[in-house]
């Protein structure tokens, strides 16, 4: 009995230390007024309005697409997050040379609209229309496993934490826009977007469900301790690594993984999954690498529909 009590307190204090040590990384000034401008608006059909919004973010402007859906009386939202080096356009416009993958993302967007969901599709920091913030360099060069550069590694930390904070600010905007105090959100993220979705769900209770498609779940932290870098830089990479937060995952989560994904070996995905204590979780492997076959979109939509019901 004493052993069980001791283990409980160890788990309780460890969980709280993790939460406290990372709180300021994902927090923002909720009281500061955030200005938003709708720079483009058009009716896609009789029940769908498309808007491009530019909003004051955590440390720069956030451009995002806002699909306002009037098919249902209740307003339900999904946030779609792109991968490293891509942009919000990946969910909207198929493009070569990744035509098949882009069509998958486009069909997820179209299916969710048909089901009645309103959508938020943003550019992550340093991506898309925000690439000027990185002096137009490719953001996929920033992770430490590729850059081996302290300055770029710090920028990668900023990319992840600022994007998560920006998403929280966008959720504030949506709540004010709809005058809904307890607005909830489902989040679908591909690759880096999957990592951001997991981080966001651990720091904002408004996220009601997560679909993480091939997230590099143990990066950038895996192996970072072998780098001869300052402790705070190493810690910053650990703080944006989803594996660290598995024990605190309280949001229903679906992991869609590839058996041959270079970025996430099967054992890493299984370890993350096994460390999640809630029952509302699912891990599914496809016979693929980092680019999933078409069927994954069915699972993604199923999960959002299951936990973000009208």
Mean pLDDT for all residues in the chain: 91
Non-local CB neighbours of 94 within 8 Å, separated by 6+ positions: 102, 103, 106
pLDDT tens for residues 83-133? 999 999 999 986 554 556 545 678 899 999 999 999 999 999 999 999 999
pLDDT tens for residues 142-189? 999 999 999 999 999 999 999 999 999 999 999 999 999 889 999 999
pTM for the complete prediction? Answer: 0.91
For residues 3-32, give the mean pLDDT. Answer: 57
pLDDT at 182: 86
pLDDT tens for residues 40-52? 999 999 999 999 9
| Structural domain boundaries enclosing 29 | 2-307
**pLDDT of 294 strictly over 60:** yes
pLDDT at 22: 57
CATH of the domain at 223: 3.40.50.1820
Domain total for the chain? 1
pLDDT at 181: 85
Closest CA to 121 of 67, 172, 174, 175: 67
For residues 77-86, give the mean pLDDT. Answer: 97
Q: For the chain, state the CA radius of gyration.
A: 19
Whole-angstrom Cα distance, residue 189 to residue 80?
A: 6
Give the H or E element holding residue 272.
helix 266-275
């Amino acid at each position: 009995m004493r052993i069980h009590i001791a283990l409980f307190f160890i788990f309780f204090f460890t969980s709280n230390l993790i939460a406290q040590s990372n709180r300021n990384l994902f927090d923002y000034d909720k009281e500061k007024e955030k200005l938003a401008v709708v720079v483009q608006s058009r009716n896609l059909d009789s029940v769908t309005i498309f808007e491009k919004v530019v909003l004051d973010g955590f440390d720069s402007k956030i451009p995002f697409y806002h699909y306002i859906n009037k098919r249902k009386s209740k307003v339900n939202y999904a946030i779609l997050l792109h991968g490293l080096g891509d942009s919000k356009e990946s969910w909207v416009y198929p493009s070569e040379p990744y035509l098949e993958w882009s069509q998958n993302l486009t069909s997820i967007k179209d299916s969710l609209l048909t089901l009645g969901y309103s959508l938020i599709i943003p550019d992550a920091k340093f991506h898309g229309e925000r690439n000027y913030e990185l002096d137009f360099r490719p953001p996929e060069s920033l992770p430490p496993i590729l850059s081996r550069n302290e300055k770029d590694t710090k920028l990668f930390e900023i990319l992840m934490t600022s994007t998560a904070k920006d998403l929280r600010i966008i959720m504030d905007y949506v709540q004010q826009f709809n005058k809904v105090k307890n607005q909830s959100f489902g989040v679908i993220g591909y690759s880096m977007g999957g990592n951001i979705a997991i981080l966001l769900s651990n720091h904002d209770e408004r996220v009601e469900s997560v679909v993480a498609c091939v997230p590099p779940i143990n990066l950038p932290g895996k192996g970072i301790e072998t780098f001869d870098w300052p402790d705070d830089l190493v810690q910053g990479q650990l703080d944006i690594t989803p594996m660290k937060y598995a024990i605190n995952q309280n949001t229903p989560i679906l992991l869609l993984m590839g058996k041959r994904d270079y970025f996430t070996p099967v054992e890493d995905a299984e370890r993350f999954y096994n460390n999640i204590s809630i029952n509302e979780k699912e891990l599914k492997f496809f016979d693929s690498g980092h680019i999933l076959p078409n069927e994954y979109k069915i699972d993604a939509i199923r999960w959002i529909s299951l936990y973000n019901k009208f």
